[in-house]
Copies of this chain bind each other. A is one copy, B any other.
Amino acid sequence: MDDTPLKPSRRRFLAGAAVAGVAGAAGAAEPDPLITEVQPWASGFGEGVDATPYGLPIRFESDVIRRNVEWLTADTISSINFTPIHALDGTITPAGCSFERHHSGAIELSKDDYRLMINGTETPTVFDYADLERFPRENHTYFLECAANTGMEWAGAQLNGAQFTHGMIHNMEYSGIPVRTLLREAGHDGATKGKWLYVEGADASSNGRSIPLEKAMDDCLIAIKANGEALRMEHGYPARLVVPGWEGNLWVKWIRRMEITDGPVESREETSKYTDTLADGTSRKWTWVMDAKSVVTSPSPQAPILHGPGPLVITGMAWSGHGKVARVDVSKDGGKTWETARLAADPGNKALLRFYLDTVWDGKEMFLQSRAVDETGYVQPTKAQLRAVRGLNSVYHNNCIQTWWVKPNGEAENVEVS
């Protein structure tokens, strides 16, 4: 054992911080019974391979779950729950903890009972589930963000946790049939006069929405799998619409009908809801695209810093409904100065991107922010910039920069900075 002081090139990253000593090593701490004694899990048998038919997370992770906020909606049937993004890493959101939004509850619809009607075309057609499986299908990973994500923050810093401020989002690998394939099968050859597609689900709300036909023919899918397996009931089993980069309300679950129409239907879900009320009380409609956005997921109010000063991984996620994220910046001082984050992978198209800032924390307070820039050059705005354009009456499409006040004790709080 070499007891000479370490040369700078060998200086240990965590030196003096939290490294437990090994008996015999230089500067060894008290012997750690977890390494000096044989532990029960190393001297007996564990569980067999038949213990669970479908595996769940270990009990120690029982707090990493979707959560709803009771005061947010009148009941849980037409409500929302939130992805625990503060506890996740990478980009894939596991279905089991991926957020849900129901307008009249999640319905149980079997493959045998499933029908998809297409009309407004030359040969109106009804497909059953087995039909869908016979068409060529594609695989794409896309984010789904609810238009109301971060919606409670318009008026101020209201919800104390990334799960609640930004958790109406998930990111899955979808396997599905292009909508254009099905429309063509039903006789739409591009000569149809109609320019819109009205889509509706099999639940009581129907959640009818109008989509420009051009978008539907471009990249929309009827998804039959998410992350490789069947959609969960709550995500639209057995088939849902995927509208890449556009607000989640358009991603109609349990999709039962698509109709080519001359104009938009102007349904409840695109007039009374899912429009953006401006300062003067008028409403912007057809604001479908989810603009570039990002959020630091750790540290954050639900993911405080539990160690002292020293090496710290700041991480979060970024996305853009316009395509790929080009860059993510992180600020520790509320937006005065910025550092460029490390992107964990090549940015995907309309998909979540994980970013990291590997830094050293001095133990002082931080006003942590992240800012996404997408491939169109669009820069995620501050809350002040967004309010200047949109006022304070909005609920939807709040993609402003989020601030977490990280205190010297490592705790974090949702705040606004001027």
Q: Which A residues lie at the B interface, using CB under 8 A?
A: 1-2, 6, 9-10, 12-14, 17-22, 24-26, 32, 34-35, 39, 41-51, 53-62, 64-66, 68, 75-77, 79-81, 87-98, 100-102, 104-111, 113, 115, 117, 119, 122-128, 130-131, 133-140, 173-175, 185, 187, 189, 202-204, 206, 224-225, 227-230, 232-234, 237, 254, 256, 306-307, 310-313, 342, 344-345, 354, 356, 358
Contact = CB atoms under 8 A, between A and B. Distances in A.
Given A107-B41, A175-B89, A56 B54 contact: yes
Nearest to A235: B55
A20 B113 CA distance: 13
B230 A48 contact: no
Q: What are the 10 closest A-B residue pairs judged by CB atoms, nearest first? A: A46-B105, A48-B76, A89-B175, A46-B107, A41-B107, A139-B344, A136-B358, A58-B233, A45-B105, A49-B81
Contacts of A174: 90
A60 B110 contact: yes
Contacts of A256: 42
Chain A at the B interface: SS class = loop
A92 B128 contact: no
Q: In the complex, which of the residues A43, A61, A203 has the most CB atoms of chain B within 10 Å of its own CB atom?
A: A61
B225 A135 contact: no
Q: In the complex, which of the residues A46, A127, A203, A225 has the most CB atoms of chain B within 10 Å of its own CB atom?
A: A46
A5 to B, nearest CB: 11
